[in-house]
Amino acid sequence: MPRLFSAALVLAATLCAAAPAMAHFGMVIPSTNAVDPKTRTVELTLSFSHPMEMEGMDLAKPAAFFVVSEGNRTDLLPALKEAKVMDHAAWKAAYAVVRPGVYTVVMEPQPYWEPAEDVSIIHYTKTVVAAFGEEEGWNEPVGLKTEIVPLTRPFGNYAGFSFSGQVLVDGKPVPNATVEVEYYNEQKAITPPTPYHVTHVVQADANGVFTFACPRAGWWGFAALTEAETTLPDPSGAQKPVEQGAVLWIKLDAWPAK
């Protein structure tokens, strides 16, 4: 029995190690990504989760939360209110859009210690909202430590369209970056048949450019992960690596019935 028990433990550990890791995603989800005169106020929801599996983690109040339009930055941190997403701590804010433009909404979270990976996680997360027919500026970087710059307009797209982006760290392309992609399974309408169907993976080219076709209507998250040059202390005080993520959320709309 002891030998059988030991073998079972080894097998279980081997299977766990071989299984694909669950991907973390910072999330900034607006109530709409195309503002019209009837929807001038955008509700913004900030969270941290495994979006396909609908498993949340607590999100501490972000270190920074702001919107950039035409090179102007507006601080939204004072507007945040506590909320719950997937039964975990999250944040919400309302932003009133008063003029035509393209608005990039950005969250920089506090570092999140992940004991399973022995790293701190910082996901620089953004999404793009267009207002009143304006569409210039959606492909401009906003100067984050790391970010995904859209090469396909990130709004006004239908399910099935391909999306391209470029991964930057310190404003420079990241050659051969690995980009994880997940669908926000908000209605729990999808049951992935295998763990491999939870997180999709695409590799960028030598210029940090990647392309992915989004087959279903809804919100899709893209996360390009790199290791930061600096470290942070873990709960015991030991210095550990930092996973810095460039995260971008885009929405694909369903095709009209007629």
Q: Is the pLDDT of residue 166 over 60?
A: yes
Q: Give CA–CA dist 193/128, Å, rounded.
A: 31
Bin 150: left if φ > 0, else alpha if -120 < ψ < 50, else beta.
Answer: beta
Q: Is the pLDDT of residue 115 over 80?
A: yes
Q: Answer for the pair 144, 246: CB distance below 8 angstroms, yes or no.
A: yes
| Two structure tokens written together for 130 | 């267009």
- Backbone φ and ψ for 188, nearest 5 degrees, come out as 55, 40
| Two structure tokens written together for 159 | 């399910």
Reported as a single tens digit per residue, the pLDDT across 37-68 is 888 999 999 999 999 999 999 999 999 999 99
DSSP 3-state assignment of 49? strand
Does the CA dihedral 75-79-84-88 come out positive or negative?
positive
Q: Is the pLDDT of residue 173 over 80?
A: yes
Q: Is the pLDDT of residue 2 over 80?
A: no
Q: Is the pLDDT of residue 22 over 80?
A: no
Q: Percentage of residues in the chain with pLDDT exceeding 90?
A: 88
Q: What pLDDT sits at residue 11?
A: 40
Reported as a single tens digit per residue, the pLDDT across 132-152 is 999 999 999 999 999 999 999
Q: Percentage of residues in the chain with pLDDT exceeding 70?
A: 91
pTM beyond cutoff 0.85: yes
Q: Where are the beta strands (DSSP E) in 86-152?
A: 88-96, 101-108, 112-114, 119-131, 146-150
Q: What pLDDT sits at residue 39?
A: 85
The mean pLDDT of the chain is 92
The three-point CA angle 85-75-101 to 5° equals 90
Q: Is the pLDDT of residue 229 over 70?
A: yes
Q: Is the pLDDT of residue 3 over 80?
A: no
The ranges assigned to domains in the chain are 23-253
Q: What pLDDT sits at residue 21?
A: 56
In this structure, the number of other CB atoms found within 10 A of the CB of residue 129 comes to 26
Q: What pLDDT sits at residue 67?
A: 98
Q: Answer for the pair 131, 103: CB distance below 8 angstroms, yes or no.
A: yes
